[in-house]
């Protein structure tokens, strides 16, 4: 074991406030694995919430694991040290349960790296009786777990505050009774929201794009479908940072979840469909925790899928403003911004107003059901200038279904108009334009759409670049199309895609080469169009949203029809039935 690695972990823990460390043997240990670096993982509020939920039971002792940085990874390899926990520097393999928070497709290989560093068998089917059970939750585990199924023993579909403690209790009870690994997995599969993939075997049909899932053979010992779980009473559970540290993306910030879910029905957004119904936290509970936050937390971060839709947002932010408490907001809709909020943000030190029009044209924003107009964007720019925020950041997507060249030109028109407005308001700050290619996600109306062809995306990125390069005050940021295609491959991939990923990782092959060996046409697989009604890799899972509703929303997109936001008593999508 490397003493340098142990000392490094202890130094990080020493800089934290709120860490819980339990003596070995006092509690049943649970590994919490985040498949990216400490800096990023400690910014994930879901990890903080579940850390508090499990530690708060008095039964479980959570210990965190993160992807080592480049230098630490080299040290692990050089010294053959197994992956160590933050809290007690114990090896991953010593924990009976390894809980994984998976939020992004591009972290899948990081997850495999951590299993390998932890000396765990990569494939779930090859794990021995004494090896840990690998349990995965988070957005990717919920909307399409199939590419990860070869490596994971158990998935938790949906929100984990209620499901995870029940699951661990069932597994531990079986362990104490001396049940086999198989028997414990069968028992776990009876719980709502618990998906054990070894009991669900995909059936494939060969197609011109590769093996396509045409059905599922279900073991008679488990339910035929598994449904996403969501918390009805959010205020029963923690909603803030468990640990505060300076060594994260949100250094020294006390993160507070004010609401969960989004009812705006943006047709491209997986989070809007997979985390319904929208729920709000109680203002008094929020304020009590903010008032009692650790002294190390100088700033408060307000989080949620649709923070600006929180009904008491004005009251909360004005309390923060009057109390001299600096704060930031995860995201704001341009149509909900007012001068009071803009001034409060500016007074907290925020120098950039971030706005997400997503599309430049009226027809494309109508198609995706964004629900904001160009004037909302321009009004937000004026408010930012009036409040003293120097910089503006705009988010757009290209490659949306039905998009044409006029839609791209309208992006440039809007950007230049924003730059002109900034000048007119005396705002000489930077205008950052972030443009990413649209990636279709399961359980959205666009789940049947393919990634736009790469040559077309390259052409449109080149057009945007040429349109903005003459003005040095406009900075265009785009993501790697290679990473975009990888994300699209995994997002709608089936279990065979995951098997290819595992082979590529084990044999150190290019992922595309492993896919080709598995029979996939890699030049078209991520771009394939699917048909409503056909069996999809995730068809045996239920998010609450019906396929009929998704079809209607797809038709609404094609016709540019608006869908009203969620409201009490609504039963349109199926979640609140």
Give me the count of residues in the chain: 577
DSSP 92: G
User: What is the distance between the alpha carbons of residues 556 and 562, in angstroms, rounded to a whole number?
Assistant: 7
Q: Residue 24: pLDDT band by 50, 70, 90 thresholds?
A: confident
Q: Please report the pLDDT score of residue 331 as a whole number.
A: 75
Residue 406 near residue 449, CB atoms below 8 Å: no
Average pLDDT over residues 447-476: 97
Non-local (6+) Cβ contacts of 550 within 8 A are 443, 444, 445, 447, 532
Q: Please report the pLDDT score of residue 501 as a whole number.
A: 98
Residue 143 reports pLDDT greater than 90: yes
List, for residues 171-224, the tens digit of each pLDDT value.
999 999 999 999 999 999 999 999 999 999 999 999 999 999 999 999 999 999
Residue of 74, 70, 134 whose CA lies nearest to 102: 134
Question: In angstroms, how far is the first alpha carbon of the chain from the final one?
Answer: 54
Q: Please report the pLDDT score of residue 134 as a whole number.
A: 99
Place of tokens 């002109």: 420
Give Cα separations from 510 to 108, 412, 467, 489, 503 (angstroms): 15, 37, 35, 14, 10
Average pLDDT over residues 313-331: 93
- 318-331 as b/e, with b when 16 or more CB fall inside 10 Å? ebbbeeebbbbbbb
Q: Kindly report which listed range (111-120, 305-314, 441-450) carries the lowest average pLDDT score.
A: 305-314
Q: Please report the pLDDT score of residue 330 as a whole number.
A: 76
- Give the whole-number percent of the chain exceeding pLDDT 70: 100
Residue 306 reports pLDDT greater than 90: no
Residue 244 reports pLDDT greater than 80: yes
- 131-148 as b/e, with b when 16 or more CB fall inside 10 Å? bbbbbbbbbbbbbbbbbb
Q: Residue 229: pLDDT band by 50, 70, 90 thresholds?
A: very high
Is 250 exposed, middle or buried (CB count within 10 Å of its CB: 0-12, 13-18, 19+)? buried
Non-local (6+) Cβ contacts of 548 within 8 A are none
Task: Tell whether pTM > 0.85.
Answer: yes
Residue of 15, 67, 11 whose CA lies nearest to 39: 67
List, for residues 61-76, the tens digit of each pLDDT value.
999 999 999 999 999 9
Place of tokens 């959205």: 444
Average pLDDT over residues 308-324: 95
Average pLDDT over residues 455-483: 96
Q: Starting at the earlier edge strand, list the strands of the sheet with 194-195.
A: 60-66, 28-34, 97-101, 133-137, 154-156, 194-195
**Over the chain, what is the mean pLDDT?**
96
Q: Residue 332: pLDDT band by 50, 70, 90 thresholds?
A: confident
Give Cα separations from 190 to 124, 223, 577 (angstroms): 19, 7, 22
Q: What is the largest CA-CA distance in the chain?
A: 74
List, for residues 342-364, the tens digit of each pLDDT value.
999 999 999 999 999 999 999 99
List, for residues 362-404, the tens digit of each pLDDT value.
999 999 999 999 999 999 999 999 999 999 999 999 999 999 9
Residue 428 reports pLDDT greater than 80: yes
The crossing angle, in degrees rounded to 10, of helices 405-424 and 454-468 is 30
Q: Residue 577: pLDDT band by 50, 70, 90 thresholds?
A: confident
Rounded-to-10 torsion of CA 526, 531, 535, 537: 20
Average pLDDT over residues 494-505: 98
**Range 554-561, long-range pairs (CB < 8 A, 24+ positions):** 554/267, 554/445, 554/446, 554/448, 556/267, 556/369, 556/445, 557/267, 557/367, 557/368, 557/369, 557/401, 557/402, 557/445, 557/446, 558/367, 558/402, 560/363, 560/366, 560/367, 561/366
Q: Please report the pLDDT score of residue 164 as a whole number.
A: 98
């Amino acid at each position: 074991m490397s003493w340098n690695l142990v000392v490094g972990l202890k130094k990080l823990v020493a800089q934290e406030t709120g860490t819980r460390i339990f003596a070995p043997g006092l509690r049943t240990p649970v590994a919490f694995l985040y498949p990216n670096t400490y800096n990023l993982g400690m910014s994930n509020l879901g990890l903080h919430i579940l850390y508090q939920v499990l530690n708060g039971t008095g039964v479980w002792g959570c210990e965190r694991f993160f992807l080592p940085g480049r230098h630490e990874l080299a040290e692990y390899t050089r010294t053959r040290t197994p992956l160590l926990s933050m809290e007690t520097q114990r090896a991953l393999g010593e924990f009976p349960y390894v809980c994984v928070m998976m939020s992004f497709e591009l972290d899948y290989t990081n997850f495999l790296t951590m299993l390998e560093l932890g000396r765990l068998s990569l494939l779930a089917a090859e794990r021995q009786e004494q090896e840990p059970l690998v349990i995965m939750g988070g957005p990717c585990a919920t909307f399409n777990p199939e590419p990860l199924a070869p490596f994971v023993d158990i998935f938790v579909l949906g929100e984990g505050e209620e499901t995870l403690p029940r699951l661990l209790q069932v597994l531990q009870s079986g362990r104490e009774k001396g049940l086999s690994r198989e028997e414990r997995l069968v028992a776990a599969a009876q719980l709502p929201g618990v998906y054990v993939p070894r009991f669900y075997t995909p059936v494939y049909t060969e197609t011109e794009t590769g093996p396509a899932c045409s059905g599922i053979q279900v073991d008679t010992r488990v339910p035929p479908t598994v449904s996403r779980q969501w918390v009805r009473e959010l205020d029963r559970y923690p909603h803030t940072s468990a640990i505060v540290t300076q060594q994260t993306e949100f250094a020294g910030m006390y993160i507070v979840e004010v609401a969960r879910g989004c009812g705006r029905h943006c047709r491209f957004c997986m989070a809007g469909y997979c985390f319904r119904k929208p729920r709000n936290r109680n203002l008094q509970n929020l304020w009590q925790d903010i008032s009692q936050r650790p002294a190390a937390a100088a700033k408060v971060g307000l989080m949620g899928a649709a923070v600006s839709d929180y009904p008491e947002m004005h009251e909360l932010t004005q309390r923060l403003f009057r109390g001299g408490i600096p704060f930031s907001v995860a995201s704001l809709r341009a149509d909900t911004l007012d001068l009071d909020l803009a001034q409060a943000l500016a007074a907290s030190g925020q120098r950039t107003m971030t706005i997400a029009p997503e599309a430049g044209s009226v027809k494309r924003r109508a198609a995706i059901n964004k629900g904001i107009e160009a004037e909302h964007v321009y009004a937000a720019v004026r408010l930012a200038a009036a409040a003293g925020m120097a910089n503006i950041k705009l988010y757009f997507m290209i490659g949306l279904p039905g998009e044409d060249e006029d839609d791209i030109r309208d992006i440039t028109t809007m950007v230049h108009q924003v730059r002109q407005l900034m000048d007119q308001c005396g705002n000489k700050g930077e205008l950052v334009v972030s443009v990413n290619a649209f990636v279709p996600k399961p359980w959205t109306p666009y789940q049947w759409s393919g990634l736009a062809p790469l040559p077309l995306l390259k052409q449109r990125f080149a057009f945007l670049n040429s349109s903005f390069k003459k003005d040095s005050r406009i900075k265009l940021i785009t993501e790697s199309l290679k990473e975009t295609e990888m994300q699209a491959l995994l997002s709608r991939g089936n279990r065979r895609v995951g098997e290819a990923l595992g082979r590529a990782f084990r044999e150190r092959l290019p992922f595309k080469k492993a896919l080709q060996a598995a029979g996939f046409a890699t030049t078209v697989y991520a771009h394939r169009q699917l048909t409503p009604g056909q069996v999809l890799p995730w068809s045996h899972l239920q998010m609450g949203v019906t396929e009929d509703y998704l079809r209607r929303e797809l038709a609404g997109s094609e016709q540019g029809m608006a869908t009203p936001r969620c409201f009490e008593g609504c039963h349109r999508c199926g979640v609140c039935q």
